[in-house]
Amino acid sequence: MAAGVRKVRAKAIFVGGTASHVGKSWMATAICRVLRRRGFQVAPFKAQNMSNNSFPCAGGYEIGRAQVAQAEACGLEPEPDMNPVLLKPVSNLGSQVVVNGKVWKNLSSRDYYHHTAALRDAAHAAYHRLAARFQYIVMEGAGSVAELNLKDRDIVNLSMARAAGARALLVGDIDRGGIFASILGTLHLLDEDERALVHSFAVNRFRGDPTLFEDGVRLLEQRSQRRCLGVFPFVEGAPLVQQEDSVSLDEGASHPGARIAIVRFPRVSNFTDFRLLRAKWITQPVSQDFHWVILPGTKNTIGDLEWLRATGLAEWVRQQHARGARVLGVCGGYQMLGHTIADPQGVENESPRSVSGLGLLPLHTVLTAEKIVRTVQVNFRRIAAGAYEIHMGRSEGGAPDPDLTGAVTGTYLHGLFEHSGAAACMFGEDALHPQHGDGYQRLADWFERHADLALFEELYL
């Protein structure tokens, strides 16, 4: 498949962005559900994802959480072909590389690019398998489509769109400012053949009366020689679907009066576990007393435990517990609550070592190269819920507490508290964002209410 993607029956819609976290995942998910509503067979695809939010597929495969949400919006079970290359950062300079759903190896950023050709072939092959089975593929890009220094190594943005014969939608975020520079500048930086792929643009996260931006739309259309698909409003409150980038924790992550504190580790993973909670994400000790302190998952347990101590948060957690807060650890956070964490194979840092944990639970954890990836069905306090495990360690010591009733408790299960019933049972109804039905239906409503649907049909269907 090195020569590119063979001609297949699926039509492809590519959703690219002017930057990271402009709403590509939301837009792609919305389009997935809109097409499904119209009776089309549709599947999501992202050639390469960089995220520590992942999810197990059937057979022990692993893909990015955003593509799982998009699969759900399409009414499909997630599968590895939807996200053939997944990068899970373990440090500022390197990532665990997952190819076709299985861990391949840990690579530094520099070494990763030596494998561009092979990874591009894997992405093209996965796309071909999907496109042979569906009428539409909704493709999501990564970061900006105009990263000039990465163009010759691109396997996820416009080179992938070109190979698939996709028509592209460019998404910009007006809430962060600079919408004219971001959309017009992005188009200006593209080569002529790349610009030809972009059929329209969307202005996302607008606050206030959209009619006040009508002049802005006209200017953008005149300068870009592209039509505006729509001006889409900022959505307040709980996200309609899972956020992909940890930068989303910077936006509205803390809520006035929140009684739940969640530690934001440098390499936090699967933070979607807590998307229903009204919580305060913290990176340093704060004076407020909380009812709950949560240590979430992390892609580097020992490294983030050392960070916890260096910031003073380790002692802060103990003080919060002493003053009556309940402490919950999930996955890597659960491992930190124990007495010891050993890494005899150098799984996380390429050199064996062992460290002391916080000593709040009678656990001893050994990190192993073999990753546990599986979905489970649990009965949590008489509530049936689906959950999943993705971790590279095993913990022994102490009796397990499946209902998490202890003052200090933990679990390897992700996704449990994405079930509103389980979350309410654990933290109380008042700790949750208000829920308003099916998020995918609401997201499709959001798209159809604000998009020029006649233009969408003309350009993309």
Query: How many C-beta atoms lie closer than 10 Å to residue 416's C-beta?
Result: 21
CB 13 within 8 A of CB 166: yes
Cα(285)–Cα(311) distance, rounded to whole angstroms? 8
Cα(185)–Cα(179) distance, rounded to whole angstroms? 9
Q: Which residue is it, tokens 């979607």?
A: 272
Straight-line distance from the first to the last Cα atom of the chain, in angstroms, rounded to the nearest whole number: 27
H/E segment holding residue 119: helix 116-131
Sequence-separated (6 or more) residues with CB below 8 Å from residue 90 = 96, 106, 267, 299, 300, 303, 348
Cα(271)–Cα(9) distance, rounded to whole angstroms? 37
CB 264 within 8 A of CB 282: yes
What's 440's DSSP letter? H
CA-angle at 311, arms to 357 and 317, nearest 5°: 55
Cα(436)–Cα(442) distance, rounded to whole angstroms? 8
Q: Active site includes 414?
A: yes
CB 77 within 8 A of CB 55: no
CA-angle at 150, arms to 84 and 56, nearest 5°: 20
Of 32, 74, 331, 425, which is the active-site residue?
331
CA-angle at 214, arms to 213 and 219, nearest 5°: 95
Q: Active site includes 331?
A: yes
Q: SS3 helix, strand, coil % of the chain, rounded to 5?
A: 35, 30, 35
Cα(175)–Cα(182) distance, rounded to whole angstroms? 12
Of 414, 419, 425, 450, which is the active-site residue?
414
Q: Which residues are catalytic?
A: 331, 414
